[in-house]
Copies of this chain bind each other. A is one copy, B any other.
């Protein structure tokens, strides 16, 4: 409505095209990695010309950076939701299940981060040592408390969190391998049952 906003950053059409580009970039970057992806592929996927892409984003780097930044929050939400006041086993199993759902529903996002971290996190290295470490430290302290008070078994909280990341994201990141071995069968029902058992047994004091 208002015409006098101090920073009218984006018109409706700009907003719409930016989103289309980000969506297309997610497709391409997650499939080929940063270096493997080309602006041509992204432009095609977005239904725009290459120069038009660069009218909305100043460079290939800029698209990738905005994509990663925008997803970081979504990606860490399940861990943020871990509640110190909830039931320990329920909280941890719930966290694992939400992460597994994300692997099933957002595999491109998982592979985008995997590509980035696998190559040494050249573009989000700072974010890992900063926000991510702070969040993990906070939640690890909660888990350590649960262990100390005997509400769950003695476990190293950091490796427990790593294990949840590794086990759930594996089904998105190594999808090609998992499906090759299972011969096309849907891995997720079996995965959830397995992980439920695994963590239930681990956490019993």
A32 within 8 A of B: yes
Q: Which of B31, B117, B125, B167 contacts A120 (CB 8 A)?
A: B31
Query: How many identical chains are in the complex?
Result: 2
Q: Which of A1-9, A53-61, A173-181 contacts B (4 or more CB under 8 A)?
A: A173-181
A residues 157-205 with Cβ under 8 Å of B? 158-160, 162-163, 165-167, 169-171, 173-174, 176-178, 180-183, 187, 190-191, 193-195, 197-198, 201-202, 204
A132 within 8 A of B: yes
Inter-chain contacts of A136 with B (CB < 8 A): 181
Interface size on A, residues (CB 8 A): 53
Inter-chain contacts of A174 with B (CB < 8 A): 114, 117-118, 165-166
Interface residues of A (CB under 8 A from B): 31-36, 111, 114-115, 117-121, 125, 128-129, 132-133, 136, 155-156, 158-160, 162-163, 165-167, 169-171, 173-174, 176-178, 180-183, 187, 190-191, 193-195, 197-198, 201-202, 204
